[in-house]
Amino acid sequence: MKLAVDLHIHSCLSPCGDNDMTPNNIAGMAALKGLDVIAVADHNSAGNVRSTIQAARQYDLLVLPALEANTREEIHVLCYFPAVEIAEEFGAWLHGLLPPVKNKPELFGDQLFMTDQDEVCGEEELLLINAADCSIEELFREVRARGGAAVPAHANKQANSILENLGFLPPALGITTVETRGEQRLDLLQGLQCLRSSDAHCLPDILEREFFIEVSEKSTAAILDKITQK
């Protein structure tokens, strides 16, 4: 079956995400736009994944457990997991590798944890956009050890991307899928599966039904299989 997806959306937990990127607003907008599957992928945290999954239950919308890690090389990597508990446990592990730098909300923006009723239930103190003390190799290993899929984010973009910061895709990483942004340097990504997502930080930017993946069924397991397929 063909599913309309947007697998890279930021919630109000990301400092750069609008404060109205709440679980219910994200789920509602994705449903309104007719999407079948989304992923909330906040910087270095899966703290709003569970509430978004719950908010999405009123719609026919699947939410993939995810986060967007920032490695020591300042490369952004989308990490997708088979279950929300695993994403949360991975997020806690990653949190322990962040530098002890506190967020300055007036400078970087709020980092809000939300309930499934869109109530603020906490604030993340550490600045989530920093790089975790973890190499890209370690990150891929840790994601895979948890049955997850690691996908270089905006791989052909000029900032925080694998092509910009490493210059190539190390064969040892065994990358099968990348997320692309725009048309630059696509020749360097030939032979890979390419995902296109919004990287939305505000509600209007969430994709319409415009990017599709073909899977056997609408489930997290089937989508992870597809992403990790050689």
CB of 68 to Zn ion, least distance (A): 5
Please list every residue from 173 through 212 that binds Zn ion, using CB under 5 A. Answer: 199
Residues 6+ apart with CB under 8 A from 107: none
Among 153, 175, 195, 206, binds Zn ion (CB under 5 A): 153
CB of 111 to Zn ion, least distance (A): 14
Please list every residue from 66 through 125 that binds Zn ion, using CB under 5 A. Answer: 68, 76
Selected range binding Zn ion among 22-30, 63-71, 111-119, 128-136, rule: CB under 5 A:
63-71
The nearer residue to Zn ion, 95 or 218, going by C-beta atoms, is 95
Contact call for residue 157 and Zn ion (CB under 5 A): no
The nearer residue to Zn ion, 39 or 224, going by C-beta atoms, is 39
Selected range binding Zn ion among 15-23, 137-145, 149-157, 209-217, rule: CB under 5 A:
149-157
**Among candidate residues 227, 107, 131, the one with its CA nearest the CA of residue 179:** 227
The nearer residue to Zn ion, 76 or 226, going by C-beta atoms, is 76
The alpha carbon dihedral of 18, 184, 182, 71 has a sign of: negative
CB of 109 to Zn ion, least distance (A): 14
Tokens of 174: 């065994």
Residues 6+ apart with CB under 8 A from 158: 164, 184
Q: Return the residue matching tokens 């210059």.
A: 167
Tell me how far CA of residue 204 lies from CA of 15, 43, 110, 116, in angstroms: 18, 20, 20, 21
CB of 53 within 8 A of CB of 21?
no
- CB-nearest residue to Zn ion: 76
Give residues in contact with Zn ion (CB under 5 A): 68, 76, 153, 199
